[in-house]
Amino acid sequence: MKTKFILYSLVGLLAITILSFANLSSKTTISSLTNDELANLSVQEVLIELKDEKPIHYIHKENADSVRMGYELVHFGQLKNKSNKRISKFFVCTDCHNQVKEVRNLSIETADERLRYGIKHQIPFLPASTFYGLYNKRHWYNGDYYKKYGDLVLPTRDTLINAIQLCAVQCSQGRPMQTWELRAVLHYLRSIDYKIKDLSLTPQELEYIKLHLGTSSPKTIKMIKSKYAETNPATFGDPYISISDDAVGNIENGKYIFEKGCLHCHQLGKNITAFEFDAESLTFSFLEKKLKKHSNYSVPYIVRKGTYATSGKRQYMPQYPLEKMNKQQLIDLIFYIKSKSK
């Protein structure tokens, strides 16, 4: 009697399990997706449905509590109820990283596009990469960051959680994050990953995806991945640029870079650095006088080199790689500073 009961329960359990699995991946539910439903799916989930390999940091579904805690750690440096220690005395992640999409079309993540889109939507113009879609990248601390951090970047090159940890300690000059904190930030990043609607797909491409969902389709995977970059490239620029006499700067662009970039950290009362800008002529004439000097106070030099960080000791200024501020934009900034110092 007892064994029969157990047997029946087991069969029942098995049936339920099989049914729920069938439900998850059955082609009928997926192919009956409306375009709107498809548009709101995360790119990661769609890739998995096409049998792409899961990334190391794969999270099937974000946990709402972890997302909230991750949000608080990123925006305030600690939980809102202050039950944990601040990650960094000097910074919060949002001092250097935006949380929104920074370009209109994700397949064109250039400094020019970032500036155009940034002016339109008044987005801070920052030296580090946005967290929006960071979950969808496959490599971190790319390119010239090796020159700055050396072998420290190696474990971060293919593992997002290691990249978060390196930045907590090195870039934000803080303490190592605990496992639950790392997990919370990862869940938060999962909540702001790319959605299908972010990819600027044509109606035909959307149909093509629908047609292949639930099957192994390397071609569809390739098409989707051609719509965004899997890395944030970084090239460090020359700190001693020479500006030819016929160079022309766009003062409007320079104003945006100054106000949404430099002032993001240097504005009076922000307390990120003791070197505060008043955005009045005093600051501008100071910066103008230093332009030609090869020192920390010369704008081209500081933009390209930043200041030196000794881990955990004090705040520092991160440099802008060419991908985050290109040469013309630096010239625009210099022209703006000159125009205001008169």
Instruction: For the CB of residue 87, give the shortest distance to ligand HEC in the complex, in Å.
Output: 5
The rounded distance, in Å, linking the Cα atoms of 291 and 303 is 12
Site for ligand HEC, residues 11 to 70, rule: CB under 6 A: none
The rounded distance, in Å, linking the Cα atoms of 160 and 182 is 10
Q: Which is nearer to ligand HEC, 217 or 319 (CB)?
A: 319
Q: Which is nearer to ligand HEC, 126 or 209 (CB)?
A: 126
Q: How many CB atoms within 10 Å of residue 126? A: 23
Q: Contact between 71 and ligand HEC (CB under 6 A)? A: no
Q: Which is nearer to ligand HEC, 21 or 58 (CB)?
A: 58
Q: Near ligand HEC by CB under 6 A, which window of 7-15, 18-26, 101-109, 167-175?
A: 167-175
Instruction: For the CB of residue 180, give the shortest distance to ligand HEC in the complex, in Å.
Output: 14
The rounded distance, in Å, linking the Cα atoms of 209 and 37 is 13
Q: Which is nearer to ligand HEC, 158 or 205 (CB)?
A: 158
Q: Near ligand HEC by CB under 6 A, which window of 15-23, 42-50, 122-130, 238-246?
A: 122-130
Q: Which is nearer to ligand HEC, 118 or 127 (CB)?
A: 127
Q: Near ligand HEC by CB under 6 A, which window of 2-10, 16-24, 129-137, 240-248?
A: 129-137
Residue 141's closest CA among 332, 331, 318, 17?
A: 318
Q: Which amino acid is at 46?
A: V
The rounded distance, in Å, linking the Cα atoms of 275 and 112 is 28
Q: Contact between 171 and ligand HEC (CB under 6 A)? A: yes
The rounded distance, in Å, linking the Cα atoms of 70 and 79 is 8
Q: Contact between 137 and ligand HEC (CB under 6 A)? A: yes
The rounded distance, in Å, linking the Cα atoms of 140 and 165 is 12
Q: How many CB atoms within 10 Å of residue 151? A: 7
Among 97, 114, 190, 304, binds ligand HEC (CB under 6 A): 97
* The two three-digit tokens of residue 103, written as one number: 């370009």
Q: How many CB atoms within 10 Å of residue 208? A: 16
Q: Contact between 91 and ligand HEC (CB under 6 A)? A: yes
Q: Contact between 186 and ligand HEC (CB under 6 A)? A: no
For residues 166 and 153, is the Cβ–Cβ distance under 8 A?
yes
Site for ligand HEC, residues 261 to 300, rule: CB under 6 A: 261-262, 264-266, 272-273, 275, 296-297, 299
Q: Which is nearer to ligand HEC, 63 or 273 (CB)?
A: 273
For residues 279 and 263, is the Cβ–Cβ distance under 8 A?
yes
User: Burial, 61: exposed, middle or buried (Cβ in 10 Å; 0-12, 13-18, 19+)?
Assistant: exposed
Instruction: For the CB of residue 299, give the shortest distance to ligand HEC in the complex, in Å.
Output: 5
**Residue 88: left (phi > 0), alpha (psi -120 to 50), or beta?**
beta
Instruction: For the CB of residue 282, give the shortest distance to ligand HEC in the complex, in Å.
Output: 13
Q: Contact between 128 and ligand HEC (CB under 6 A)? A: yes
The residue count of the chain comes to: 342
Residues that bind ligand HEC (CB under 6 A): 74, 87, 91, 93, 95-97, 126-129, 134, 137, 140-142, 145, 163-164, 167-168, 171-172, 185, 232, 234, 261-262, 264-266, 272-273, 275, 296-297, 299, 302-303, 307, 315-318
